[in-house]
C-alpha cells in the first residue's frame, strides 16, 4: 500500500470511528430511572437519576453526614402522588415533590424532606420555606446496591413501603393511602 493510501485509510478510520466515540462520551454516568406503583386508587411515581457507587465511601464520604442531600444526581429526584397519602403517619397532599434527605451516622435517624420546589437541580437544597413534609426515619442495613435505587418491595391494597437503597443503606418510607 502506498503512503498516500495508508494515510487515507487512517483518516477514514478516524472519521468513521469519531461518531461512536462521541456517542459514548455523551452517555451520562448516572442513568435515568423511574418506578411507579398503584396502591389502591393512588398512583405513586418516582423519577430520578441513578448515581453509581464505584467503590467510593457513600455515606460519610461522597454524601456528608448532617448535610441535606438529594438522593439522585443531576435533576432533583421527584415523587408524584395522585391522591393524598400518609407517609410514616404524617399527611402529604396529592402533588409533585422533590425528595431530600439528611443522613446521620448510626444509630441516629435520618431526616426525609418532601419539598414543593420541583424542576430544580439536585444541589443546592431549595430551603425550608418550600418544605411540605419533614420526617425522621431509621435507616436499615442491607446487601450492597451498586446503583442508587428506589423500589416498592411491599404493596398492599392500602399501603406500601418505598425504599431508597444505595450501598448497604436502605431508607424505608411507609406509605398509607385512603381508598375512599
Q: Cell numbers of 28, please?
A: 451520562
Q: CA 46 to CA 34: how far, in whole Å?
A: 6
178 CB-side CA count, 13 A: 12
User: In the chain, which ranges are continuous DSSP H helix?
Assistant: 3-25
Q: CA 77 to CA 112: how far, in whole Å?
A: 13
Global pTM reads: 0.84
Q: What is the pLDDT along the chain (180 residues), one digit of tens a residue?
A: 555 555 544 443 444 444 444 445 788 788 999 999 999 999 999 999 999 999 999 999 999 999 999 999 989 999 999 999 999 999 999 999 999 999 999 999 999 999 999 998 888 999 999 999 999 999 999 999 999 999 999 999 999 999 999 999 999 999 999 987
Amino acid at each position: 500500500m502506498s503512503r498516500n493510501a495508508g494515510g487515507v485509510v487512517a483518516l477514514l478510520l478516524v472519521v468513521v470511528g469519531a461518531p461512536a466515540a462521541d456517542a459514548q462520551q455523551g452517555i451520562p454516568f448516572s442513568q435515568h430511572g423511574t418506578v411507579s406503583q398503584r396502591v389502591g386508587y393512588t398512583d405513586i411515581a418516582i423519577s430520578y437519576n441513578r448515581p453509581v457507587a464505584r467503590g467510593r465511601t457513600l455515606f460519610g464520604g461522597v454524601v456528608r453526614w448532617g448535610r441535606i442531600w438529594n438522593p439522585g444526581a443531576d435533576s432533583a429526584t421527584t415523587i408524584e402522588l395522585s391522591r393524598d397519602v400518609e407517609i410514616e403517619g404524617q399527611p402529604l397532599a396529592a402533588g409533585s415533590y422533590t425528595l431530600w434527605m439528611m443522613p446521620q451516622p448510626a444509630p441516629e435517624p435520618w431526616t426525609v424532606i418532601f419539598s414543593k420546589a420541583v424542576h430544580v437541580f439536585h444541589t443546592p437544597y431549595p430551603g425550608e420555606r418550600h418544605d411540605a413534609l419533614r420526617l425522621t426515619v431509621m435507616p436499615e442495613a442491607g446487601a450492597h446496591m451498586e446503583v442508587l435505587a428506589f423500589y416498592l418491595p411491599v404493596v398492599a391494597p392500602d399501603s406500601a413501603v418505598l425504599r431508597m437503597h444505595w450501598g448497604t443503606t436502605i431508607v424505608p418510607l411507609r406509605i398509607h393511602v385512603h381508598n375512599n
